[in-house]
Structure 1
């Protein structure tokens, strides 16, 4: 056999095969294009129509009145698909209960487990429905959000989006619980502060009443001593002689007609606890010096000592300015007098 022609024959065979390969590739390309236009694209258009649009279409926030629940049990597959398509167009993915696209599609799959339109629509619209569930979480409608998550789980139980939604729902619930607990604690603290302020006011009123009673008792005892002194003088003047008796009686009459007493507190006003000090849980005291006027009022009120300074000064001065006294008496005449008062501020 002459081997000189073998390479030439092989080159000729390869050259003859190239048109065949090109023709095969062209046929495959034509088949792919035909399949796209005749099978794949119509199917996608149908799915998109069922889904209410392209996946890039954002979820509308337009508020619509919720339609009443549909009689799902009485519908056949075609009716369910039609209702689902309407719900998708109106963006009723998961709500309202009993009349939303996911429930219609899930019912279709119960009747026809292999229904590709329903399964594809659920898969394609899952992101939109998940966004709707997330909006329910953000609006803190936790019961509705839980229902929608459970509905999503029926469509695709292994989807990782469900884990994210459940985590967000749990976090929002914990945040709301903390906020409610904080509000309850603040309300309780305010109630305790009010009760404490009322108790302190009652204690201050009682202390003022006791002080007033003690001062009044002291004034009465002093008045009795003043009235008893002229009587003793009068008896001594009687022993010394008639001339001295007249002078002693005159002096006794002068002393008995005019008493000398100190100012006595009639009405004490509880000091208002400053709001800033109450919030900061501050306590302290203030020593106030003031003048009791002949009419029983107070004037020239000033702080002589305080701890801490300039925290409770104004509240203490305001309270003292509203005090009422029985004015000091000198020889039966009301006169001005100076007093000091220590006011405590405690929580």
Structure 2
């Protein structure tokens, strides 16, 4: 009976302890909640009020516009600097603009009074929000402004690890921008080189085609010009084809005392000058020359030409290659002087 009584007493005691533990836990939780609302939160709000208001409070675009910096900042006392800092915090001007932001005002306070608790607490409390502002400057690639804000944060808390992260991001963004700019430059250079090569290839092909066309055209014109140069008349060719009486029968020629003029035996076409052909220029040359007793030409001279100094050389070269049946006087071959007009037509 005693054993059963003791067991029942223990069970009864354990059942009584459980509600007590729950009640104690509930009381502790209520005390913690009450302490947060009655002590901790009012203290934080008081600190933030002294520092310039809650940093996370959103502001409108009009409020975000930075007012002009106050005059004679260097001459302000601590209370004036704290007042300007609170105003900057309310407008979320943690690090910008330069010369008119909360961190610079608080740092000036600490310069004047190194142990100022309000400035120290405000810098510590607003550091994460200021770091966010610096990170936004990094992300927007405003590198000079980002560097200035990071340097300002370093003055407030040089050992904060956030500075290492911000500096790394700034360096990475700079390298990324440099790479992107270099890629654009390289792409533009490649496009320009390709365009220049294509233009050069097209120009070379066009020039080659034009040269081939010009060469073929000149060849056709020269061939046509040579065909149009004045050739010996049919009568001259017939006379030239007949064998010389003096050669066939010298004795008979001498006996008969035959007289005759020099007759063209073989003509050489005059070469049409290339420059005149390109200029599509036509003309004529009157040439005087001596037909020797051997039927060869000599003392070839230009009597007249139109135009001058264009076709003379070609005419002289052609006459020098002419061959004649020499003039006969009393059955004897003698020298004779002749003139011939050579036409140059396209």
Q: Normalization by structure 1: what TM-score? A: 0.52
Distance 1:186 1:167 in 2: 28
1:68-88 Cα distance to aligned partner (Å, 9 max, x none) = 255322111111111111110
Whether the 8 Å contact between 1:134 and 1:145 is mirrored in structure 2 is: yes
1:228-267 Cα distance to aligned partner (Å, 9 max, x none) = 69868786677899xxxxxxxxxxxxxxxxxxxxxxxxxx
Residue 119 (structure 1) aligns with: 120
Whether the 8 Å contact between 2:143 and 2:170 is mirrored in structure 1 is: yes
Distance 1:111 1:40 in 2: 30
| 1:108 Cα offset (Å) | 1.1
| 1:130 Cα offset (Å) | 0.7
Residue 23 (structure 2) aligns with: none
Q: Normalization by structure 2: what TM-score? A: 0.53
**SS of residue paired to 1:137:** helix
After TM superposition, the structure 1 stretch with the greater mean CA deviation from structure 2, 187-196 or 231-240, is: 231-240
| 1:182 Cα offset (Å) | 1.5
**SS of residue paired to 1:203:** helix
Ranges in structure 1 where 5+ consecutive residues have no aligned partner: 1-25, 242-347
Q: Please list every run of at least 4 consecutive aligned residues from structure 1 whose deviation after the TM superposition is greater than 3 angstroms.
A: 33-37, 39-43, 50-63, 224-241
Residue 84 (structure 1) aligns with: 85
Whether the 8 Å contact between 2:53 and 2:86 is mirrored in structure 1 is: no
1:132-164 Cα distance to aligned partner (Å, 9 max, x none) = 111111111100000000111111111111111
Residue 195 (structure 1) aligns with: 196
Whether the 8 Å contact between 1:52 and 1:90 is mirrored in structure 2 is: no
Matches within 5 A, 1:310-321: none
Ranges in structure 2 where 5+ consecutive residues have no aligned partner: 1-26, 243-346
| 1:201 Cα offset (Å) | 3.8
Matches within 5 A, 1:1-347: 42-54=42-54, 57=57, 63-68=64-69, 70-227=71-228
Q: Tell me the matched-pair count.
A: 216
Distance 2:56 2:217 in 1: 90
CA shift in 2, pair 1:206/1:58, >3 Å: same
Q: Which has the larger radius of gyration?
A: 2
Distance 1:69 1:143 in 2: 23
Whether the 8 Å contact between 2:123 and 2:156 is mirrored in structure 1 is: yes
CA shift in 2, pair 1:134/1:118, >3 Å: same
